[in-house]
Amino acid sequence: MNTNNKYIEFKKKRELGDILTDTFAFLRQEGKSLFSILMKTCGIPFVLLLLASAYYTYSSSNLFDPVSISNGEMFNSGGILISLFLMLAALLAFYGLLFGSVLHYIKAYTDNKGTIDYNTVIQGVRKDFGSILGLGALSGIIIFFGFVLCFLPGIYLYVPMSLVFAILVFRNVSVTDAISESFQLVKNEWWITFATLFVLGIIIWIISMIFSVPALIYTFTKTFTAASEGTYANPAAMVDWVFIGLNAIASAAQYALYVITAIASAFIYFNLNERKYATGALEQIDSLGNDS
């Protein structure tokens, strides 16, 4: 059980800057409590995802091996395809559990005015895990085909698809209803939602690049040394266990930053929901009537 007196109201209208500011304010305020939940729900999938990512990095090194390219052996072993499948499967499980955990935490937070019952959150994640997995796979396929058909439809579809998990958790609807309602929610609000996601994406990218610096420095140093010694003949040799380890650290930071996206999606959802239906304002009016 966690109780916080500095309650942040989710159910109200916000501008772009307010959404970003309150996202990081909530993370600072509830970070310790939230990450204790995430360790229980996402710890094992997170480790499996890192292992799968490291295996994919190792397997894909053949793409740069001139001997494998000349012999046509890049995909013969199937290692790259297997590692890619394992990484995508682990990513889907981790992504679903992380979003489910964060959003159910926020649901408990808003329902109880800042008081969190950990068992309620974990039970909610377990209940919706199958639906979240299916929703994640379906929304991913929709976005993928949007980008395949043309780049712009992919961007257009990404905006409503970014809210489907919040709709599923907060409205307790089915997978198909969550997708359908996401388009209704962003109707006439697409541009401001896109702008919010775009700015948030830039911020997260900048943060993730900080953790990528060690791998970039190591790669540059090793490449420069090999070139100066005249031994730079096989780019695949750059992918050693040190590089894989540094790349795993960068990947871990990138995956952990999904927490920010999940929190922001809740603020975006409540902002759009308030603009269209004013449910938060109506709840406040009802509570005032009950108090009187």
The answer as to whether 243 is a domain residue is: yes
pLDDT in tens, 214-265: 888 888 887 777 666 655 545 555 667 888 888 888 889 999 999 999 999 9
Band of residue 281 on the pLDDT scale cut at 50, 70, 90: low
The answer as to whether 122 is a domain residue is: yes
Residue 93 CA from chain centroid, whole number: 11
Average pLDDT value for residue range 149-162: 90
pTM assigned to the model: 0.86
The answer as to whether 161 is a domain residue is: yes
pLDDT in tens, 62-107: 655 554 545 555 554 567 788 889 999 999 999 999 999 999 999 9
The answer as to whether 4 is a domain residue is: no
What is the domain range of residue 47? 9-287
The answer as to whether 3 is a domain residue is: no
The answer as to whether 89 is a domain residue is: yes
Which region holds residue 234: left if phi is over 0, alpha if psi is between -120 and 50, else beta? beta
Three-state SS across the chain? CEECCCCCCCCCCCCHHHHHHHHHHHHHHHHHHHHHHHHHHHHHHHHHHHHHHHHHHHHHHHHHCHHHHHHCCCCCCCHHHHHHHHHHHHHHHHHHHHHHHHHHHHHHHHHCCCEECHHHHHHHHHHHHHHHHHHHHHHHHHHHHHHHHCHHHHHHHHHHHCCHHHHHHHHCCCHHHHHHHHHHHHCCCHHHHHHHHHHHHHHHHHHHHHHHHHHHHHHHHHHHHHHHCCCCCCHHHHCCHHHHHHHHHHHHHHHHCHHHHHHHHHHHHHHHHHHHHCHHHHHHHHHHHHHC
d(CA 48, CA 98): 14
pLDDT in tens, 189-217: 999 999 999 999 999 999 999 998 988 88
CA angle at 290 for the pair 286 and 292, rounded to the nearest 5°? 115
The answer as to whether 212 is a domain residue is: yes
Q: Are 95 and 136 in contact (CB under 8 A)?
A: yes
The answer as to whether 292 is a domain residue is: no
* Number of independent structural domains in the chain: 1
Q: Is the pLDDT of residue 288 over 70?
A: no
Torsion of CA 100, 94, 3, 6, to 10 degrees: -80
